[in-house]
Chains A and B, each alone.
Chain A
Amino acid sequence: MALLQIEEITKEFGGLKALHAVSLHLDEGEIVSLIGPNGAGKTTLFNCITGTTPPDRGSVRFNGEEIVGRPPHEVARRGISRTFQHIRVFGQMSVLENVMVGWDFRGRTGIFTALLRPPRVGREEAENRKRCLEVLSLFGERLLPRLNQPARELSYANRRRLEIARALVSGPRLILLDEPTAGMNPHETQQVVDLIRMICERGHSVLVIEHKMKVVMTVSDRIVVLDHGEKIAEGPPAAIAADPTVIEAYMGGRRRAQAD
């Protein structure tokens, strides 16, 4: 059984069909890339999966359970976490606190326990911290030396890393990355590629939206191509690179074909 099974999802904004009967699946341990020109509906699909903007029709089953209609925090609790195309870190909070929020729903401390502070509150905080440091250490020396710095002071690339760390800390089964390499230089991009592989090896499945072809081709097990809200192709990287409809829609049509 597929970990994520999306069937016939349709989403309209007014008269605009952002997604039209899109189906796709993702198996446990897979890295699937979602590509397509701007406005193809990639981020809309992410929003439909996570419940941010529920689809008009269609179903999304995660681990066999229907998740359409559930609010985003419940989807996250079931094991899908995500990052955003436009970075959304908690600017005034420190790097460590940002990541600790990712562990929030695993916590048990409520208002009364917070006031009375039985020993388990301290243990929970320590456990949370330990998990966060462990996840932050995946990024080498990028984030660990900046634990107490407010997130808004971080560089662009580091804020992206922080978002990924926040999404990873609760141990999701599936992580959705929305353009993780946007605004990064080639060296940093390569690090993200390694990171995505590492995330996969740690047992998280990955669905990634990406524009940089080099990244897509090296990292994905499978590629899904969207154009104008419809799925136009799906397959392993080599097949996608050779697919004429994809080249037509995405890679620049005739000119590219002539250049080859």
Chain B
Amino acid sequence: MKDKIRIASGQGFWGDLLTAPVDQVTKGPIDYVVMDYLAEVTMSILQKQKRKDPKLGYAKDLVGLMEQILPVCQKKNIRVITNGGGVNPVACSEAILTVAAKLGLKSLKIGVVLGDDILDHIDTFASAGIELRNTETGETLQAVRSRLQSANVYFGAAPIVEALKKGADIVITGRTTDTGLTLAPMMYEFGWSLTDWDKLAAGTVAGHILECGGQSSGGNFSADWKSVPDLAHIGFPIAEAYPNGEVLITKHENTGGLVSVQTVKEQLVYEIGDPKQYITPDCIADFTSIQLEQSGTNRVRVSGVRGKPATDQYKVSMSYLDGYTAFSTLTYSWPEAVEKARAADRILKSRLEDLHLEVEEYRSELLGYNSSHGAAATTPDDPSEVVLRVGVRSRDYNSVERFGKEIAPLILTGPPSVTGFAGGRPKPSEVVSYWPSLIPKSAVTPTIVIKELER
């Protein structure tokens, strides 16, 4: 057994800094690079791509990235774990194998985790009494069944551990939890059992710290953002894990950014609910047990984490079509910029009413004035300029499209000194709403498929 392993965060979301994984594998020693691609609505976007082309449906960025890092990973024996397989992990693995062949690699073993995509089994579940009710509203799935776009079970670390045991150099999954990507290599390397709750919780906490990439190593840091050195070359976080469950959060030397107790704390509180009940498929982590200590420059020791047994349910993430939105902006300048913007808003609303459009929601905000902080905002008396941002939402596509034709006329038929209308009429975009649910763990089984380079 290794006495420690270094797990590096390569991507915190789909659209993240593309140089980060390259830096992680080249700028210092690591054993694993983990890349998180999937947000709540990402799966529906990928499902749409797959419907158009059965060979798509995964994070395409990943293939180009693998082309860049694969030779280094092979040389340094670095394994890659990612949920970038989206709704088509098999096609993703095949695209990576094609790239590997092109690079002239001699061997490559990809472990593909399948079984999370339950879109085709919804009706079978329903007849077996698995209703997949909305856990927030209690509604039955019937309300949105015909508009369902994607349905995926959140798997945890266990299937990835299985893939690593089968000798995978790369593990590609669909909807795996962000935290499971980081926990899995610890379980595999240190032989942690599936019921060693404190250790699983420790690895889960490390996963939470890594899952948003640079957000724990100096990015989006509110405590003292000006003190963070060289954000242009930010080093993404690395979890140095030990068999007893202790983890050191650090980053490569000679990179920008900052790893401090404060940067780690800000990530710990990011998008959590009840801190005593951080529920994953692997365990329940108690965030009130976490102890942090600055143990060196850009080194934070995470210890004391306690965990409780996992629940007997998986979380399910589903998405459904829920109408359309469109947005537009106009910039009004001093004097009386705020009054002008508000007048334009009233005129627009009046014209929309005259058209009898089916609009479910209309919202106007003044950017540069109070849009972010509402009642808590400190507003300037007579600002140099404000941006009027208007948006509508409706089930009716035509109404949303018609709204888009009412913006430009305001320039010549509304209040004066207005500019900034660029990009033409706003186009309606689809609203994809999120349907959170739970499913008994016994109802779904993850499977592992190994794909290898053909000789």
- Whether A and B are associated in the same complex: the answer reads no
A-side residues, CB < 8 A to B, are none
